[in-house]
Amino acid sequence: MLKKLTIENYALVEKVEIDFGPGLTVLTGETGAGKSVIIGGLALTLGGRADRDHIRHGTKKASIKTEFSISSTSPLKAKLKNILETPVAAQLCFEREVTQSGASKCLIDGSPAVLAKVRHASPLLVDFHSQQGHRQLLEIDQHLRFLDSFAGVAKAVEKLAGLYQEYHTLQKQLDDACNNAAAMKEKLELINFQIDELTGASIRAGEEQELGEESKRLQSVRTLMEAGQVAVATLSENDNAVNTILSQLDKQLKQAAGLDKQLEPEAALLSESVINLNELTRNLESYLSRLEDNPERLEEINGRLAELYRLRKKYGTDEAGLPDKLDELQKQSMGADDFETLIKNLSAKLANAQKSYLDLAVEISAKRRAKAPVLEKKVEKQLSDLAISKAKFKIDFQTEHDANGFEVDGEKVAAYPHGLENIEFLISTNPNEPIKPLVKIASGGEVSRIMLALLIVIAGKYHLPTIIFDEIDTGIGGTTAIRLGEKLKELSKRHQVITISHLSPVAEQADHHLAVSKSLNNGRNIIAVKEIKGRELKQELARMAGQAEA
């Protein structure tokens, strides 16, 4: 609820402080007294366009402060917190300053704020039906909310929005899984090729070193043969063979040791040497017997070494890492089955989520269409009471074809968080005139009365901010003026209503009557606002009645 408005140095206002209460507040005054200036100041502090021409002549800046009270149980608290990105207390204050440079400063509860946040939050707090206002209730996206509130499906629509988000999330997950599976399928072909390649290579730890040594031996086989043959010949085959000479020495030293025991160690050492040389000779002969010149084997080994080198370079690892790479590829190959299972599970979940959404959406749609004619008749009745007696009010249901949408009555239609259709309010205010969208109604006073009729019908069923009417009584009088006042009073029992009026039957219904006046002060016009009661109220009502009669 709007609690207080303070305006300083704005237009012809030096300083006014206005306290607002619940129910119906009426602003009255002579034509040109400044009633619209007050509404303009309120609009400015809630995000309206700032202009240095608004600053009172002779001052450096204009400032406007608006205070609201927010109930602790109001759903507004959470919404405002999300928009303003700060906790909302029981009192919420917006301030706006405009300087001669044309710059403006915005404050929320005394702290600097981004103007865009205020503009986003203000429709939740005040709905203007005036030349300065934005007429939030004329916005098409509000029409469906009005109908849903009237049809009693607002809670179901909130649930539907959750189901919509759920199935869209599942759809995205399924699309991602299918795309990943397709990519995985392509990747799997390469993985399987690599697995076959490494498996077929039969890599054995230490093989490369062994083959390297064998290759080196085969490349040097002639040199090795020559060295081995020379050694064998020298040891045992030549005329002066080492083994022959040492064997003779061994016999002589053994005989000497028989004569002198001191030579026994030397004799034993020589005997051991003879034995070792004989064993060496046998080993060399065995080695030479195995040694062969085999170009085919050498070519085979070099081919294998080249293959191992290629695999190491290809997979970026050493010989020992190739088996690990094979193990890694085999695990990746097994992961392909996970995508198939995931796709199957997501498909089942998506089908269930879509069915849940469609069932509830169809149910909500049926209730909307059933209640729409009732709302139409009730609004037409209210319009008749407000001197728009021949009005035709219709609710236009609109669906959009979507080949990928849901099938309803044999047609594929698009789905939205709020259901399977959009709606728009249509109206004709004169006989034989075509029905047009409500947003195209030109007359400010006529639009305000249409909105008043609609608001009365849905009062108590839909959360509404403070409602401000200007020009709502333009062009009416007599019995219609009385009915207008009664209906404003009726609406104000559920919502705070503020209206500018020139009609005494409207002003008589006010819970709070604010008189706006303009007077000379030191040679300059100054706008003043005061709440009037008692004798002053009677005088103001008499003045208004005289104007009406005139």
User: Which amino acid is located at 76 in the chain?
Assistant: L
pLDDT of residue 187: 63
**Tens digits of per-residue pLDDT, 420-479?**
999 999 999 888 888 988 877 756 567 778 888 888 888 777 677 888 988 788 778 888
Q: 233 — alpha (psi -120 to 50), left (phi > 0) or beta?
A: alpha
Residue 429 DSSP SS3: coil
Q: Which helix (H) or strand (E) holds 488?
A: helix 478-492
Side-chain half-sphere exposure of 120, counting CA atoms within 13 A? 12
Q: Which helix (H) or strand (E) holds 396?
A: strand 392-398
And the tokens for 527?
């706008």
> pLDDT at residue 150 above 60?
yes
> pLDDT at residue 131 above 60?
no
Q: What is the pTM of this model?
A: 0.65
pLDDT of residue 418: 95
Residue 526 DSSP SS3: strand
* Spatial contact of 426 and 438, defined as CB atoms under 8 Å apart: yes
Per-residue pLDDT averaged across 522-550, rounded?
Answer: 83
More confident: 52 or 18: 18
pLDDT of residue 153: 94
- Virtual torsion, Cα 523, 524, 525, 526, nearest 10 deg: -110
pLDDT of residue 550: 37
Q: How confident is the model at residue 371 (pLDDT cuts 50, 70, 90)?
A: very high
More confident: 132 or 389: 389
* Spatial contact of 497 and 469, defined as CB atoms under 8 Å apart: yes
Nearest to 151 by CA among 413, 374, 333: 374
d(CA 440, CA 429): 12
Among the residue ranges 42-46, 241-245, 512-516, 546-550, the one predicted with the least confidence is: 546-550
Read off the DSSP letter of residue 443: -
d(CA 91, CA 77): 11
* Spatial contact of 455 and 136, defined as CB atoms under 8 Å apart: no
What lies within 8 Å, CB to CB, of 124 at 6+ separation is 76, 79, 80, 83, 465
* Spatial contact of 397 and 146, defined as CB atoms under 8 Å apart: no
Q: How many Cβ atoms from other residues are within 10 Å of residue 303's Cβ?
A: 10
Domain boundaries, the chain: 1-125+465-550, 206-319
pLDDT of residue 373: 96
pLDDT of residue 547: 59
And the tokens for 153?
């499906």
Give the helix, strand, coil percentages of the chain, each rounded to 5: 55, 20, 25
Q: How confident is the model at residue 147 (pLDDT cuts 50, 70, 90)?
A: very high
pLDDT of residue 134: 44
> pLDDT at residue 319 above 80?
no
d(CA 129, CA 43): 11
Percentage of the chain surpassing pLDDT 90?
A: 31
pLDDT of residue 336: 58
d(CA 28, CA 64): 21
pLDDT of residue 316: 79
Nearest to 475 by CA among 368, 365, 388, 349: 388
Q: Which helix (H) or strand (E) holds 246?
A: helix 242-259
**Tens digits of per-residue pLDDT, 159-171?**
999 999 999 999 9
And the tokens for 62?
């204009």
Q: How far is CA 454 from CA 6, 176, 397, 509, in A?
A: 31, 46, 18, 20
d(CA 214, CA 220): 10
pLDDT of residue 230: 85
Q: How confident is the model at residue 335 (pLDDT cuts 50, 70, 90)?
A: low
Q: Please tell me the CATH superfamily of domain 1-125+465-550, with its number.
A: P-loop containing nucleotide triphosphate hydrolases (3.40.50.300)
> pLDDT at residue 186 above 70?
no
**Tens digits of per-residue pLDDT, 74-122?**
778 888 888 888 888 888 999 999 998 878 899 998 889 888 988 888 8
